[in-house]
Chain A
Amino acid sequence: MSAQTGSPTVAPAAAAVRTAATRWQFWIVLAVVAAAVALVAQLLETSETEVFGTENTDLDGYAAVASVLEDHGVELHRVYSAQAARELMEQNPGAGVVVLLRDIPPEERFTDELEAEVEAGREVLWISAETWLIGEVFGAEAQAGPRIGEGAAGTAQVLHSGPRCPHPAAETASSLQAPGGSLHAERGCFPVDHDSYVLSETTHGLVFTAPEAFTNQHITAEGNAALALGLLGAAAENEAEQTLIWYTPSGTDQVGAQQWGSPLDYLPAWFWPLLWWLMICAAIGLVAAGRRYGPVVSEPMPVTVPAEEAVVGRGRLYQRANAVAATNQVLRSAHLLRLSRLLGLGRGASPEAIAAAASHTAQWDLDAVRRLLEGPASEHALSPNQHAARPRDTDSPSDMVARADALAKLERDVRDALRTQRRTE
């Protein structure tokens, strides 16, 4: 038997893979190319998007300043938690510390530690435009001053280092232009008011309240660049190896510092593993339930068209055109034809003859039957020289319904009469 010796009815797995690869060649190539492009784009994409980030090359980033510092051999260590900053400070006892405050305050204990470090001689620079936050962190020592005024075109006012400026970098820069705030202090540079400065000296270290000045956008304005390199370079330049610890307080310190925790922390230990496991279960369920037994089977359907389509369409056309006269005429001729067949009058019988026979059979009034069966057209037909006259639309639709009903009733009566007549015979 040939079936016993024949080969399987599908290709072996290797051949099937080859066939599939050939069939999907285009899409496979497309997917590979897309993946390669995405990978390259990902690798080329180095800039970050954090505001005042040292690798952010956008207008609000510090990439320009950071790269110049790195060219000068300054090593930047970015940290986001007080604990990490503390560890780095232990490793590099001489390294300068930059605290970049955005809207999250640093750990309280760390602020106190920094104060001690400043006393011990470490360079600490606070950078923040949020002067209220600095006021909160430093307590009574630092009070927020007025904001830097704006010039005519909306750009910030140019500030000068001022006569009571103790910092050499500020004196070198001599001028500053950037939006920002100020602090009330006894001594400082770049006065906004008579006792409030943009760069002020506190017991916690230097505080600079116009961080916009060092962004890629504003770094080239006035003496901004000289001030940035002077301040940051001086902070780093304590030892042979120039190191700068760049600390940005973030949510990581928050939980420990404040005495509330997220409800997620109080969940039992098995919660997250179980959640992952259930997600795996759901994936298995989807794959198992979604697997079909082979391709979808289609049904070649035969064509069918509703037979009354044309008739229904014509009825709607009559209605849209309000074709009362035409409708009356069609109904009349249909009933005339049927009545003449019922009454045995033959094909050529005139409407008058049919009307007479019908009224006689059904015992209806002859005039009424004539009005029904002959209609307005017959009046014209009776008068000579009027063969071109067309039926007028004198009836309203409600009259037409009554007329159609009466025609049907007449036919029914004739039928009944004929039936009883036949039965009695």
Chain B
Amino acid sequence: MLTLRCFWVALGMSVVVMLVPQWLWLWLGILAAAVLVDLMACASPRTVRVTRIPAQPTRAGTPITVVSRLQNQGRRTLRGWAKDGWQPTASPRQAVQPVQLRGRSTVELEVTLEPQRRGELRSEHLTIRSLGPLGLAGRQVVHRVPHTVQVLPQFASRRHLPSMLRRLRELDGASAVQLRGAGTEFDSLRDYVRGDDVRSIDWRATARRQDAAGQHLVVRTWRPERDRRIILCLDSSRTSAARIDDGPRLDAGVESSLLLGALAAHAGDRVDFLAFAREVTARASSSERGTFLNLLSLAVSRVEPTLVEADFSQLPGEIAALTTHRSLVVIVTAADSPALQEGLLPVLPALTSKHRVVVASVRNPELLQQAAARGSVAEVYAAAAAERAMIEAAAIAAELHARGVELVEAEPDALPAALADCYIRLKATGKL
């Protein structure tokens, strides 16, 4: 392996060649000898042992530093360059770094990654280039030691979480609840404060509390039901590969699942997640050990759209295997797809008979723009096509409503919040 320095040196030597042209072979010999000396004198990159230090999962867009340990087992000092072969979307900041490894010593090679998309990022190899003392030539060897970093989804809708949690707490019996049906589960007894519903005064407890201090009215507090079951089903079939605005439909589904899952887990519900296309491709459950949001992020980060038709017929079986209780089944899919008529609609009765079903779907904002453009003949034809697609989607929505299914439709950015709102509304009205 020759270096660019070798090229510049050779170019510089052309002056000598011009001055004493009859010694061409001598000059060539000198250059070849220098290269040979470098080749023989450089430390062998084969005597290096590469160890990859396991990296923690990170979120897309959050920089992470990954470390590889290089251990020189030879006696000579290795001078040169090392390149960590991270894939392009990992955006490594200093993939190629100078290294200096004394004989029988260890050095840690740090590379900062800025992952641009979720999933498993890989570096299949680490290349070590060892240069000779003159820097004219060297040896290069590829160490095939893989390194992986799990990149979790960005979870941009996390900013909605505090306000959603506050609304959940307001539902909680801890604050004065005026709404009938805000909860049906008995929570605790406390002193009456002005503004409480007089119907919630517990006369028996009030009688028991009579003491020297005087009269104290005691009210019962209620809280929304806990330990309800939420089952999140994320469709990762071909319809989820459709690109709306900037990202695939699946990304909006992932965000919605994360927000709803985090919210429901905070609210004390038991959440199960499954992603499916032909079969179930990822699972997570809040009953497992660890923070549910992390578990869910890990599971979701591996879900990629596949170009196959979704198999909805397995959903009732999968859900039955998870729970026998009545639960909230959220299906994140594309409700405007005509394929839904053959896929989801036939299995709905089996689900709605036992569970409350919510279908969440991304609406395509481009359809509206296309339907509104009426400038030329071609635009009018395209507008008619868009109108027709919207009529069909509306027909499917009507059919879903008729079967008692709640449909949440929103544009990609708004879908997570819309789905979470729907969940809070259902919880507030005690419909879980």
A302 & B304 in contact (Cβ 8 Å cutoff) = yes
* Docked CA distance A285–B117 (Å): 37
> What DSSP secondary structure best describes chain A's contact surface?
helix
B window 374-398: CB within 8 A of A: 374-378, 380-391, 394
The contact of B17 among A7, A10, A273, A314, by CB within 8 Å, is A273
* Docked CA distance A287–B359 (Å): 60
A window 273-320: CB within 8 A of B: 273-274, 276-278, 280-281, 284-285, 287-289, 291, 293-295, 297-300, 302-312, 314-316, 318-319
Mark the stretch among B158-166, B290-298, B362-370 that contacts chain A.
B362-370
Q: Which B residues lie within 8 Å of A315 (CB)? A: 378, 381-386
B125 & A295 in contact (Cβ 8 Å cutoff) = yes
Kindly supply a per-residue 1/0 record for chain B positions 202-241, scoring 1 wherever the CB is within 8 Å of any chain A CB and 0 otherwise: 0000000000000000000000000000000000001001
B377 & A288 in contact (Cβ 8 Å cutoff) = no
Query: Given A311-B389, A330-B387, are A293 and B381 neighbors across the interface (CB < 8 Å)?
Result: no
Mark the stretch among A35-43, A170-178, A226-234, A397-405 that contacts chain B.
A397-405
* Docked CA distance A151–B175 (Å): 128
Kindly supply a per-residue 1/0 record for chain A positions 1-14, scoring 1 wherever the CB is within 8 Å of any chain B CB and 0 otherwise: 00110111111110
Q: Is A49 an interface residue (CB 8 A)?
A: no
* Docked CA distance A270–B13 (Å): 13
Kindly supply a per-residue 1/0 record for chain B positions 238-253, scoring 1 wherever the CB is within 8 Å of any chain A CB and 0 otherwise: 1001111000110000
Query: Given A284-B10, A331-B387, are A3 and B371 neighbors across the interface (CB < 8 Å)?
Result: no
Q: Is A337 an interface residue (CB 8 A)?
A: yes
Kindly supply a per-residue 1/0 record for chain A positions 385-418, scoring 1 wherever the CB is within 8 Å of any chain B CB and 0 otherwise: 0000000000001101100110010000000000
B306 & A303 in contact (Cβ 8 Å cutoff) = yes
The contact of B377 among A278, A281, A398, by CB within 8 Å, is A398
Q: Is B51 an interface residue (CB 8 A)?
A: yes
Greatest chain A CB density within 10 A among B46, B374, B389 is at B374
Q: Chain B: which residue is nearest A310 at the CB level?
A: B389
B374 & A285 in contact (Cβ 8 Å cutoff) = no
A window 351-376: CB within 8 A of B: none
Query: Given A8-B49, A303-B306, A334-B390, are A288 and B243 neighbors across the interface (CB < 8 Å)?
Result: no
Q: Which A residues lie within 8 Å of B305 (CB)? A: 302-304
Q: Is B2 an interface residue (CB 8 A)?
A: yes
Q: Which B residues lie within 8 Å of A276 (CB)? A: 24
B87 & A8 in contact (Cβ 8 Å cutoff) = no
Q: Which A residues lie within 8 Å of B129 (CB)? A: 293
Kindly supply a per-residue 1/0 record for chain B positions 347-374, scoring 1 wherever the CB is within 8 Å of any chain A CB and 0 otherwise: 0000000000000000010110011101
A331 & B242 in contact (Cβ 8 Å cutoff) = no
B17 & A270 in contact (Cβ 8 Å cutoff) = yes
B141 & A10 in contact (Cβ 8 Å cutoff) = yes
Q: Is A333 an interface residue (CB 8 A)?
A: yes
**How distant is A315 from chain B, measured CB to nearest CB, in Å?**
4
Q: Is A327 an interface residue (CB 8 A)?
A: yes
Kindly supply a per-residue 1/0 record for chain B positions 80-96, scoring 1 wherever the CB is within 8 Å of any chain A CB and 0 otherwise: 01010111110000001
* Docked CA distance A278–B12 (Å): 10
A307 & B243 in contact (Cβ 8 Å cutoff) = yes
* Docked CA distance A299–B92 (Å): 13
B window 59-102: CB within 8 A of A: 69, 71, 73, 81, 83, 85-89, 96
Q: Which A residues lie within 8 Å of B126 (CB)? A: 294
Tell me how many residues of B have a C-beta within 8 Å of chain A: 87
A274 & B127 in contact (Cβ 8 Å cutoff) = no
A281 & B7 in contact (Cβ 8 Å cutoff) = yes
Kindly supply a per-residue 1/0 record for chain B positions 149-175, scoring 1 wherever the CB is within 8 Å of any chain A CB and 0 otherwise: 000000000000000000000000000
The contact of B364 among A3, A11, A272, A308, by CB within 8 Å, is A308
Q: Which B residues lie within 8 Å of A382 (CB)? A: none
Query: Given A13-B44, A315-B382, are A308 and B367 neighbors across the interface (CB < 8 Å)?
Result: yes
* Docked CA distance A265–B331 (Å): 87
Query: Given A3-B51, A288-B2, are A318 and B307 neighbors across the interface (CB < 8 Å)?
Result: no
Query: Given A297-B87, A305-B243, A404-B380, are A3 and B49 neighbors across the interface (CB < 8 Å)?
Result: yes
A305 & B381 in contact (Cβ 8 Å cutoff) = no
Query: Given A8-B47, A289-B4, are A401 and B364 neighbors across the interface (CB < 8 Å)?
Result: no
Kindly supply a per-residue 1/0 record for chain A positions 413-425, scoring 1 wherever the CB is within 8 Å of any chain B CB and 0 otherwise: 0000000000000
A307 & B364 in contact (Cβ 8 Å cutoff) = yes
Q: Is B140 an interface residue (CB 8 A)?
A: yes
Q: Which A residues lie within 8 Å of B81 (CB)? A: 293
Q: Which B residues lie within 8 Å of A288 (CB)? A: 2-4, 6-7
The contact of B384 among A299, A331, A405, by CB within 8 Å, is A331
* Docked CA distance A345–B386 (Å): 24
The contact of B140 among A3, A291, A297, by CB within 8 Å, is A291
Q: Is A140 an interface residue (CB 8 A)?
A: no
Greatest chain B CB density within 10 A among A277, A291, A305 is at A277
Q: Is A152 an interface residue (CB 8 A)?
A: no
B376 & A401 in contact (Cβ 8 Å cutoff) = yes
A397 & B377 in contact (Cβ 8 Å cutoff) = yes
Q: Is B143 an interface residue (CB 8 A)?
A: yes
Q: Which A residues lie within 8 Å of B388 (CB)? A: 314, 330, 334
Q: Is B33 an interface residue (CB 8 A)?
A: no
Greatest chain A CB density within 10 A among B3, B71, B388 is at B388
**How distant is A235 from chain B, measured CB to nearest CB, in Å?**
45
Can you list 19 contacts pairing A with B, beta carbon distance less than 8 Å? A8-B48, A10-B46, A272-B21, A273-B24, A274-B18, A281-B14, A291-B2, A293-B81, A293-B140, A295-B85, A297-B85, A297-B124, A307-B242, A308-B367, A311-B386, A327-B384, A331-B380, A401-B374, A404-B384
Please report A residues at the B interface, Cβ cutoff 8 Å.
3-4, 6-13, 16, 269-270, 272-274, 276-278, 280-281, 284-285, 287-289, 291, 293-295, 297-300, 302-312, 314-316, 318-319, 323, 326-327, 330-331, 333-334, 337, 397-398, 400-401, 404-405, 408
Given contacts A331-B387, A401-B377, A404-B383, 20 further A-B contacts (CB under 8 A): A6-B49, A9-B51, A10-B141, A10-B142, A13-B44, A274-B14, A274-B18, A277-B10, A295-B85, A297-B85, A302-B248, A309-B242, A310-B389, A315-B383, A318-B384, A319-B378, A319-B381, A331-B380, A334-B371, A397-B377
Q: Pick the 8 closest A-B CB pairs, nearest first.
A: A294-B127, A315-B382, A334-B387, A315-B385, A270-B21, A293-B83, A307-B242, A273-B21
